[in-house]
């Protein structure tokens, strides 16, 4: 096993590389810094490169190479900015059409990183046509492979992000790429993917936090199934992915600069009201619990405690002016950091404090409830049940009679929600609160269900699937 560490447990062996994952859990991704105690390489860095620079400084190493496994579809890279800041070589597939100078690399090329580390490029098309994996060698032996969006923990990267016209070719390429990695690398080789920790770039999700080639040979469907079985299962399981993905590859091909994380101008109540009336987004970053008890009328709720960037980027119409409302300036800064990772660089304004500081109007609010409450209320009055989960979730199990509008479609389909008392739910509460904020802004009568969908069956609610009745 290689030395997988956290910043607080740095190692400086020149024979065994130290590899430190840099987590971005809100997007479900990892970047990596690997070093031999003196020089370091970075793989697939996120846009906010200050995290990488601080880590390299703490480890006492100099970054000499920055590698991209592919032109990313789920976030804006920090690779070019990091290379320019450190003077490192920016290593990108020579076949990628990019607008900046890079160190081109192709299948089989070997890059020496300092006296003890070597990186070999392995063509692994499937997630994209030009995807590369990088085998890290120390003392002449492969010890790890950075697999990007190719071989993931128990899964592979999805093959449909370049358009349906390419999916057939890419899914078959993905199968053969995984076979190649399994054939060429020792079973002890650590597998270090970029995606697969909640990222929609992964075809399926796994709870694993580490793995090896040997482990994947035993458990990953791409390595345990026939090609056709793998292809059929993967394609059958694909669901919608965030709309903002369409903007990521063009940004990464153009060469994104380092982000500006300075605070935006502070807005007063009159300005906030004007922005809402103009159709701009004024986004409340507080938790769904406090938002429900009182918020600025017309504001939208994307709490920092959930999948903030993913759902925000999925729902916003690109280019819509944005104002951020946080309890503290630190909350606003945290949201900015999340947003620059998906290419939303400068909010128009911000405000810190609470809703009484943000408006001189009466606050809006709505009640929260559980699935048990829903079961009880249906005995004595009719209500609309709005399910905002994704299509695959709805097909797996749903409440009989529920209206299904996936959250990412709701802003443009609000007129399909009947003018009645609406009880909105998702799988755990976060998406329901986002949906409730849109309904509240539209002056609808609503209740937000803040509960786990797994409790719906226990209450006695009648659940259906596409095939069978689940319960009573």
> Is 288 in the same domain as 164?
no
Question: 81 and 186, same structural domain?
Answer: yes
Residue 61 · residue 39 · CB < 8 Å: yes
How many domains would you assign to the chain? Answer: 3
> In angstroms, rounded to a whole number, what is the distance separating the alpha carbons of residues 78 and 82?
6
The reply to whether 143 and 231 lie within a common domain is yes
Question: Is residue 19 one of the residues assigned to a domain?
Answer: yes
Q: 43 and 175 share a domain? A: yes
pLDDT over 70 at 205, yes or no: no
The confidence score (pLDDT) of residue 92 equals 98
Q: 3: pLDDT confidence band, cut at 50, 70 and 90?
A: very low
Task: Write down the mean pLDDT value for the chain.
Answer: 93
Mean local confidence (pLDDT), 223-246: 94
Question: CA-CA distances (angstroms) from residue 175 to 50, 178, 222, 324, 357?
Answer: 36, 5, 6, 43, 55
Annotate 182-206 with b (16+ C-beta within 10 A) or e (fewer).
beebeeebbbbbbbbbbbbbbbebb
Mean pLDDT of 75-88: 98
pLDDT of residue 151: 97
Please say whether the beta carbons of 67 and 43 come within 8 A. yes
Q: Are strands 89-93 and 103-105 parallel, antiparallel or unpaired?
A: parallel
Q: How many CB atoms lie within 10 A of CB 60?
A: 12
- Residues 156, 19 within the same domain: yes
pLDDT at 203: 59
| Whole-number percent of the chain with pLDDT over 70 | 94
In this prediction, residues 256-283 reach a mean pLDDT of 96
Same domain, 348 and 219: no
| Domain final residue, candidates 337, 358, 379 | 358
Q: 241 and 277, same structural domain?
A: no
Residue 8: predicted pLDDT: 39
Residues 73 and 120 in one domain: yes
70's CB contacts (< 8 A; 6+ apart) are 93, 127, 128, 130, 131, 132, 148, 149
Q: Which of 104-118, 188-202, 425-439 has the lowest mean pLDDT?
A: 188-202
Residues 216 and 73 in one domain: yes
Residue 418, pLDDT > 60, answer yes
> Above pLDDT 90, what percent of the chain?
87
If we measure between CA atoms, which residue out of 41, 42, 40 comes closest to residue 12?
Answer: 40
- pLDDT band for position 467 (cuts 50, 70, 90): low
Whether residue 323 lies inside any domain: the answer is yes
403-412, 420-429, 455-464: least confidently modelled range: 455-464
Tell me whether residue 226 is in a domain. yes
- What is the Cα–Cα distance from 117 to 35, expressed in whole angstroms? 8
CB within 8 A of 169, min separation 6: which ones?
none
4 vs 54, residue with greater confidence? 54
Asked whether residue 209 is assigned to any structural domain, the reply reads yes
Kindly report the CATH number assigned to the domain that includes residue 86: 3.60.15.10
Does one domain contain both 431 and 297?
A: no
From 303, 329, 358, give the residue that closes a domain: 358
Region 55-66: mean pLDDT is: 98
Structure-derived torsion over alpha carbons of residues 433, 437, 443, 447, reported in degrees to the nearest 10: 10
Residues 113 and 9 in one domain: yes
pLDDT tens track for 26-53: 999 999 999 999 999 999 999 999 999 9
Residue where a domain stops, chosen among 254, 280, 310: 254
Is residue 264 in a domain? no
Across 333-356, average pLDDT = 97
Say what the pTM is.
0.90
List the domain range (segments joined by +) for residue 389: 368-464
My answer on whether 147 and 276 are in the same domain is: no
Q: Is residue 308 part of a domain?
A: yes
CATH number of the domain bearing residue 448? 3.40.250.10
The pLDDT of residue 197: 80
Higher-confidence position of 166 and 200: 166
Residue 470 in domain: no
262: in domain: no
pLDDT at 208 over 80: no
């Amino acid at each position: 096993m290689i030395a997988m560490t956290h910043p607080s447990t740095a190692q400086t062996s020149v024979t065994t590389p130290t590899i430190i994952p840099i987590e971005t859990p809100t997007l479900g991704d990892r970047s990596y810094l690997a070093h031999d105690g003196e020089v370091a390489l970075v793989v697939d860095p996120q846009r906010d490169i200050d995290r990488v620079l601080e880590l390299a400084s703490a480890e006492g190493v100099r970054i000499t190479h920055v590698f991209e496994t592919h032109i990313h579809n789920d976030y804006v890279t920090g690779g070019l900015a990091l290379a320019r800041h450190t003077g490192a070589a920016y290593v990108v597939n020579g076949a990628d059409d990019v607008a900046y100078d890079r160190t081109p690399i192709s299948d089989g090329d070997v890059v020496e990183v300092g006296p003890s580390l070597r990186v070999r490029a392995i063509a692994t098309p499937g997630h994209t046509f030009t995807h590369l994996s990088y085998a890290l060698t120390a003392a002449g032996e492969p010890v790890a492979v950075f697999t990007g969006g190719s071989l993931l923990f128990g899964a592979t990267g999805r093959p449909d992000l370049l358009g349906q016209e390419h999916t057939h070719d890419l899914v078959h390429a993905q199968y053969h790429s995984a076979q190649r990695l399994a054939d060429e690398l020792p079973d002890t080789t650590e597998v270090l993917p970029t995606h697969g920790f909640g990222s929609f770039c992964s075809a399926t999700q796994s709870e694993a936090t580490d793995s090896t080639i040997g482990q994947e040979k035993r458990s990953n469907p791409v390595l345990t199934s026939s090609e056709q079985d793998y292809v059929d299962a993967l394609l059958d399981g694909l669901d919608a992915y965030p709309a903002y993905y369409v903007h990521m590859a063009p940004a990464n091909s153009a060469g994104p600069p380092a982000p500006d994380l300075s605070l935006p101008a502070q807005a007063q109540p009159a300005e906030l009201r004007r922005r809402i009336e103009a159709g701009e987004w004024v986004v409340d970053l507080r938790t769904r619990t406090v938002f429900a008890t009182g918020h600025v009328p017309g504001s939208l709720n994307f709490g920092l405690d959930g999948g903030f960037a993913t759902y925000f980027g999925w729902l916003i119409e690109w280019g819509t002016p944005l104002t951020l409302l946080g309890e503290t300036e630190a909350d606003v800064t945290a949201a900015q950091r999340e947003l620059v990772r998906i290419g939303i660089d400068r909010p128009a304004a911000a405000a810190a404090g609470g809703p009484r500081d943000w408006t001189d109007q009466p606050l809006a609010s709505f009640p929260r409830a559980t699935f048990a409450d829903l079961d009880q209320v249906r005995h004595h009055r009719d209500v609309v049940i709005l399910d905002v989960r994704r299509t695959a979730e709805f097909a797996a199990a749903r409440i009989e009679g529920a209206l299904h509008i996936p959250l990412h479609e709701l802003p443009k389909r609000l007129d399909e929600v009947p003018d009645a008392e609406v009880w909105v739910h998702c799988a755990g509460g976060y998406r329901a609160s986002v949906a409730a904020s849109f309904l509240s802004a539209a002056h609808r009568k609503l209740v937000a269900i803040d509960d786990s969908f797994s409790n719906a069956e226990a209450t006695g609610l009648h659940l259906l699937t596409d095939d069978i009745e689940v319960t009573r």
